[in-house]
């Protein structure tokens, strides 16, 4: 039984259909090919140089793409993705717009309601009809012959109104939970920022470090230039067989294999720059964004990375060091001293890091700070995970309600099911 609001009920009579995604529908609904419900037409080609900052919206297979100076459609229509991995995807266009060649515009015929039709097409999942593996695509000639259950126009309107209302209610609930997740993430960042720069004891005597990016720190903390704490290393791979590593401001030092991007791969990595477990790695080109981290493994890295190794064992807890060097004050310093004509060309070179002062406590206090952050972060992460699970369930619930509405599993409020006489009952399947 479908989980649904109490005011919704099922129809009394259903019939079987040959439609795989709607095996039974209300008995009085008709079955029609899509070409008798709507006219389908692919959009027009648009070149990259035809996009502008403001103008008419351009809609492609995955929705809004940008703006252009001309339009080829006016109105509110469903759009079907025609090519690529998202072929069969359904979006909606509105007003005066340009439909690109990657989209199929669905023009409802008389007695067809746009939202009902769009959600029915989404339910039909035209991606299953893609005709190529290299560059998936759907054919208008194929999809327009797909069959759909078609309720009377009054029920289509009731279904559309139901979808509008439920979408608004559920999306509002999702938005609240997403805002709560954002606040939890901000709270986590504030926690890290505060304790790695000021320690755990709020009553500890403080002093002005005299260093802009360090600010006020506990009196017993040290301030030293990086050149007294680290040594730059430039070690090279003998065979080029080590794991390929990458550095970003989001994930720190991670294997390239975990990156969901296409990256240049050399034929031979012999002689490439390497790092060892525990090394501090800076992405020189993106340090101004906080692209750095402590490597948890040996591997091959870009020649444009800076590699630094602690001069003294256990001077820094690796987790503490990475969090400290990603705090706001330090990142602002990287921005200030980096050289380049504009932000996308800024470079934070090794000598800049070596000249930089670092404020920090002893090893034991660093470890206590890390333990505290891990405990508190775990609580915040669990709460955020729970909220994300609730968001997932709400999205699933919304999809279930919409699918149940367009296939007739639930009857819309106010809809009166037509009575069937004895001859009609004998001719129909009663489910």
Sequential DSSP letters for 21-81: T-SEEETT-EEEEGGGTEEEEE-B---GGG-BSSSEEEEETTEEEEEES--SEES-EEEEE
Candidates 92, 47, 39, 102; CA nearest to 70 is 47
Beta bridge pairs of residue 42: 104
Same domain, 355 and 371: no
pLDDT of residue 258: 82
Largest CA distance in the chain: 95
- The count of structural domains within the chain is 3
Query: Does residue 159 belong to any structural domain of this protein?
Result: yes
Query: Does residue 20 belong to any structural domain of this protein?
Result: no
Query: Does residue 215 belong to any structural domain of this protein?
Result: yes
160 is in which domain, residue-wise? Answer: 1-13+152-199+361-431
Query: Does residue 226 belong to any structural domain of this protein?
Result: yes
Same domain, 107 and 194: no
Same domain, 218 and 327: yes
pLDDT of residue 423: 56
For residue 289, give the 3-state DSSP assignment: helix
Query: Does residue 18 belong to any structural domain of this protein?
Result: no
CATH number of 141's domain: 3.90.220.20
Same domain, 311 and 365: no
For 43-52, the CB contacts below 8 A with 24+ separation are: 43/72, 43/98, 43/99, 43/100, 43/101, 43/102, 43/103, 43/104, 43/105, 44/72, 44/98, 44/99, 44/100, 44/101, 45/100, 45/101, 46/98, 46/100, 46/101
Residue 68: partners with Cβ closer than 8 Å, 6 or more residues away:
46, 50, 51, 52, 55, 56, 58, 98
Name the packing angle between helices 363-406 and 318-325 (round to 10°): 70
Q: Distance between CA 241 and CA 255 in Å, rounded?
A: 13
Same domain, 48 and 179: no
Tell me the DSSP string of 77-124: EEEEE-BSTTTT-EEEE-SEEEEBTTEEEEEE-TT--HHHHHHHHHHH
Query: Does residue 23 belong to any structural domain of this protein?
Result: no
Last residue of some domain: 318, 344, 360?
360
Same domain, 348 and 244: yes
Same domain, 334 and 229: yes
Q: Distance between CA 326 and CA 189 in Å, rounded?
A: 10
Last residue of some domain: 150, 165, 183?
150
Q: Counting Cβ atoms within 10 Å, is residue 421 exposed (0-12), middle (13-18) or buried (19+)?
A: exposed
Q: What's the pTM?
A: 0.81
Q: Distance between CA 116 and CA 51 in Å, rounded?
A: 32
Q: Distance between CA 283 and CA 291 in Å, rounded?
A: 6
CATH number of 183's domain: 1.10.287.1120
Three-state SS string over 360-421 comes to: ECCHHHHHHHHHHHHHHHHHHHHHHHHHHHHHHHHHHHHHHHHHHHHCCCCECCCCCCCCCC
pLDDT in tens, 33-44: 999 999 999 999
Query: Does residue 19 belong to any structural domain of this protein?
Result: no
Same domain, 35 and 121: yes
Q: Distance between CA 10 and CA 12 in Å, rounded?
A: 7
Same domain, 48 and 112: yes
Assigned token pair, 196: 């790695």
Same domain, 9 and 84: no
Same domain, 171 and 137: no
pLDDT of residue 2: 34
Same domain, 129 and 40: yes
Q: What is the pLDDT along the chain (431 residues), one digit of tens a residue?
A: 334 455 679 999 999 999 999 999 999 999 999 999 999 999 999 999 999 999 999 999 888 999 999 999 999 999 999 887 778 899 999 899 999 999 999 999 988 899 999 999 999 999 988 876 667 788 899 999 999 999 999 999 999 999 999 999 999 999 999 999 999 999 999 999 999 999 999 999 999 999 999 999 999 999 999 999 999 999 999 988 899 999 988 889 999 888 765 555 677 889 999 999 999 999 999 999 999 999 999 999 998 899 999 998 889 999 999 999 999 999 999 999 999 876 667 899 999 999 999 999 999 999 999 999 999 999 999 999 999 999 999 999 999 999 999 999 999 988 999 987 655 554 454 33
Last residue of some domain: 301, 333, 360?
360
Query: Does residue 189 belong to any structural domain of this protein?
Result: yes
């Amino acid at each position: 039984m479908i989980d649904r609001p109490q005011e919704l009920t099922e129809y009394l009579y259903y019939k079987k259909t040959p439609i795989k995604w709607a095996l039974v529908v209300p008995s009085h609904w008709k079955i029609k090919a899509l070409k008798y419900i709507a006219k389908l037409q692919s959009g027009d080609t648009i070149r990259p140089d035809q996009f502008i900052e403001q103008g008419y919206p351009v809609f492609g297979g995955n929705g809004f793409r940008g703006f252009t100076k001309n339009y080829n459609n006016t109105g509110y229509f469903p759009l079907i993705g025609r090519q690529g991995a998202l072929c069969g995807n359904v979006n909606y266009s509105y007003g005066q717009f340009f439909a690109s060649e990657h989209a199929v515009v669905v023009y409802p015929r008389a007695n067809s309601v746009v939202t009902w039709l769009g959600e029915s097409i989404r339910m039909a999942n035209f991606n299953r009809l893609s005709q190529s593996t290299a560059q998936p695509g759907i054919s208008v000639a194929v999809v327009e012959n797909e069959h759909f259950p078609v309720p009377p126009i009054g029920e289509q309107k009731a279904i559309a109104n139901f979808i509008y209302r439920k979408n608004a209610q559920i999306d509002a609930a999702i938005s609240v939970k997403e805002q709560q997740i954002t606040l939890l993430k901000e709270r986590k960042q504030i926690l890290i920022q505060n304790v790695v720069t000021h320690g755990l004891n709020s009553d500890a005597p403080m002093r002005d470090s005299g260093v802009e990016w360090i600010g006020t720190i506990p009196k017993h903390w040290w301030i030293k230039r990086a050149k007294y704490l680290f040594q730059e290393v430039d070690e090279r791979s003998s065979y080029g067989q080590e794991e390929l590593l990458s550095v970003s401001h989001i994930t720190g030092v991670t294997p390239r294999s975990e990156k969901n991007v296409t990256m240049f791969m050399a034929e031979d990595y012999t002689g490439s720059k390497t790092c060892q477990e525990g090394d501090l790695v800076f992405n020189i080109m993106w340090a101004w964004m906080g692209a750095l981290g402590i490597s948890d493994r040996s591997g091959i890295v870009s020649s444009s990375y800076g590699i630094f190794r602690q001069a003294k064992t256990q001077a820094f807890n690796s987790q503490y060091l990475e969090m400290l060097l990603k705090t706001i004050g330090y990142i602002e310093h990287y921005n200030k001293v980096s050289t380049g004509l504009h932000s996308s060309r800024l470079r934070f070179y090794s000598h800049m890091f070596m000249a930089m002062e670092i404020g920090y406590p002893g090893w034991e206090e660093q470890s206590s700070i890390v333990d505290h952050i891990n405990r508190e972060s775990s609580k915040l992460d669990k709460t955020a995970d729970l909220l994300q699970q609730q968001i997932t369930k709400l999205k699933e619930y919304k999809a279930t309600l919409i699918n149940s509405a367009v296939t007739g599993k639930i009857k819309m409020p106010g809809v009166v099911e037509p009575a069937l006489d004895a001859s009609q009952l004998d001719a129909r399947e009663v489910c």
